[in-house]
Amino acid sequence: MKKTFLRLIGAVLAVLLVLGSMSLLLNYRYADSITSLRRFYEQEENTVDVLGLGTSHVYEGLCPAVLYQEYGIAAYDLCAPAQRVWNSYYYFVEALKTQKPKAVVFDVYMLNTTTEFDTTANAIKSTYGMKWSKNKIDAMKASFPEEEFPEIFFEFFQYHSRYGELSQANTWYDAGDPAYYGDSYKGYYCYDTIQEISRPDPYSQTGTREFPEKYERYFRAIIELAVENQIPIYIVSIPYAIASDTQRTVNTAEQITKEYSSEYVHFIDFNKRYDEMGLDFSTDFSGIQHLNDNGAIKFTRYFGKILKEELDLPDHRSDARYASWEENARIFYRLYQNNDVKNVTDLFEYVELLHSLGDGYQIILVQNTNISKESAMSIQTDAAVFPEGKELSDEEKQSLLEYREAVCDAQTPNTFMETLFPDKEQWTFGGAWYWTEDGMEAIGANSSKFEKYIAYDQKNNLMLRSTTTTGEDDTYYHCELAYNGETQTSNLGLTFFVYDTDLNRLVDCVTFRNASTAGTRK
């Protein structure tokens, strides 16, 4: 009997071990939500001064790196995409288990919606990363229709069939770009795209709208939870291309907020402060809904000044406990510098910017021409292009001069190349070089057949190869640059490959056909 009991216990433990291992392997690892919550649990107790709640408007607008770099404020964006107001409430409850923030920021954008439940996918993102507790169960009850239970509660039923989706990236505990989601991650995602949008008029709509009962109840619950815990709460509308109907939502949120005559409750519609922040609608948005990194810096700097002036927030910049915020700021500003590189399309401006990058970058140049070594040497050194010993008619001479002019126009300009290569023999007929502090260093045998493999880490690698074709009178060279198996070079032009060896990521790869043509990127 005893042996049977022990065998039964052993079998149960084995099943639990298998299920636990499968759960660790297969469960969801959404970098824009579940990872953020897991990283929040890793924060040392009572170190988060400002807690951001809400949607992608928050995690793409309120930048903890800027708050720390400029004011020493320790902030965390505890958000999820399109997060409903009830999920923000339960996140707030969860946060208070380990943190006593000195301010809470809640963005009102998702009060625009009216449906009783979000999509299952979004609801999973806002609940599955939470630790099991009554708070998580309450959050799940609020987030899913009753008919989806009990399968929703037993999370394994949701992700047990994910075998076909698995890759090396999403079998790690936290999937996603380590530069964004590493150990120092504070919930913010850096958007570097630029989309010019029309400036809206938030003053054009003064009306309000009625919130669905569930939305208003949880909105008030967030405010009241802050007041109960004597935490200043800032109800805000983070800048975006607000429309008349969404402005009515903001107006209603403001009206409700003003019902609370508490020193802890604040409301700011930042869509009415575009000029004070210095927002530029041609450079500071990634789309009509979100700020990009340029806009996030301007908004956060402006809002941070308000927080610093109105609240007694400590400056943690010399505190060793906040080293992860220091690292987060370092990574953000390096990414921001890298993003600047990707937005330059002028050759001379591009090279000037590369000179200012500083340490921790590897830069490779690849020059490809559509002419041979002999022709290039003749043309680029201004030697005569007319065949020796042959009388040419004026028409033939004009034709050759026009050919020379066309080729020179297609090649990277002499004056520019001479600033990089003092010796014309180095660059006139193509090749590949490292950009170093001491000048250009040829890779392999310059302008001859070579092959070089560069492994940056386990995931990122570069292959450089040069091929030659010898004709009856001339030799032609072509250099190919392939990053992670994808060719980056063209048959003509000067290609710059810029890699950040500090963050282990490709910064840019751009090709310039000539000085007057904008650089092209794949």
DSSP state letters, 299-316: HHHHHHHHHHHHS-----
Phi/psi at 63 (5° precision): -100, 110
pLDDT above 70 (res 460)? yes
Q: Is 184 left (phi over 0), alpha (psi -120 to 50) or beta?
A: alpha
pLDDT of residue 163: 38
Least Cα distance to 40 among 93, 110, 119, 86 occurs for 93
Confidence of residue 139 (pLDDT cuts 50, 70, 90): very high
pLDDT above 60 (res 411)? no
pLDDT of residue 439: 79
Q: Are strands 233-237 and 265-269 parallel, antiparallel or unpaired?
A: parallel
pLDDT of residue 272: 95
DSSP 8-state secondary structure symbol assigned to residue 461:
E
Q: Are strands 493-500 and 505-512 parallel, antiparallel or unpaired?
A: antiparallel
pLDDT above 70 (res 457)? yes
Lowest mean pLDDT among 141-155, 410-424, 477-491: 410-424
pLDDT of residue 252: 97
DSSP 8-state secondary structure symbol assigned to residue 263:
T
* CA dist., res. 378 & res. 445, Å (int): 21
Higher pLDDT, 170 or 136: 136
Q: Across the strands, what pairs with 75?
A: 50
* CA dist., res. 239 & res. 37, Å (int): 24
The residue whose two tokens read 């020379």 is 404
pLDDT of residue 18: 41
Mean per-residue pLDDT for 224-242? Answer: 96
Lowest mean pLDDT among 111-115, 301-305, 513-517: 513-517
Mean per-residue pLDDT for 392-399? Answer: 74
pLDDT of residue 199: 92
For 508, counting Cβ atoms within 10 Å of its Cβ (0-12 exposed, 13-18 middle, 19+ buried), the class is buried
Tokens of 48: 């988060």
pLDDT of residue 386: 53
pLDDT above 60 (res 47)? yes
Average pLDDT, the chain: 83
Contacts of 284 (CB under 8 A, 6+ apart): 291, 292, 294, 295, 298
Half-sphere exposure of 27 (CA within 13 A, CB side): 20
Tokens of 83: 């997060």
Least Cα distance to 126 among 105, 143, 113, 146 occurs for 143
DSSP string of 498-510?
EEETTTTEEEEEE
Distances in whole angstroms, Cα of residue 392 to Cα of each of 230, 240, 374, 385, 395: 93, 67, 20, 12, 8
Percent of the chain with pLDDT over 70: 76
Contacts of 500 (CB under 8 A, 6+ apart): 334, 338, 360, 361, 506, 507
Lowest mean pLDDT among 116-130, 323-337, 369-383: 369-383
pLDDT of residue 205: 87
Least Cα distance to 52 among 95, 110, 82 occurs for 95
Phi/psi at 89 (5° precision): -65, -45
pLDDT of residue 166: 40
Neighbour tally for 115: CB within 10 Å: 10
Mean per-residue pLDDT for 291-314? Answer: 97
Least Cα distance to 140 among 108, 118, 113 occurs for 118
pLDDT of residue 482: 94
Mean per-residue pLDDT for 144-160? Answer: 67
pLDDT above 90 (res 428)? no
In the chain, the amino acid numbered 111 is L
The terminus-to-terminus CA distance of the chain in angstroms comes to 70
Q: Does domain 28-342 have CATH number 3.40.50.1110?
A: yes
pLDDT above 60 (res 387)? no
Tokens of 280: 């530029």
Lowest mean pLDDT among 29-38, 312-321, 385-394: 385-394
pLDDT above 70 (res 431)? yes
Confidence of residue 442 (pLDDT cuts 50, 70, 90): confident
pLDDT of residue 374: 62
Domain ranges of the chain: 28-342, 347-521
pLDDT of residue 362: 95
Q: Residue 419 in contact with residue 404, Cβ under 8 Å?
A: no
pLDDT above 70 (res 60)? yes
pLDDT above 80 (res 3)? no
Q: Residue 444 in contact with residue 464, Cβ under 8 Å?
A: yes
In the chain, the amino acid numbered 501 is T
Neighbour tally for 65: CB within 10 Å: 27
Tokens of 259: 């019902």
Percent of the chain with pLDDT over 90: 52
Least Cα distance to 199 among 288, 134, 302 occurs for 288
pLDDT of residue 313: 96
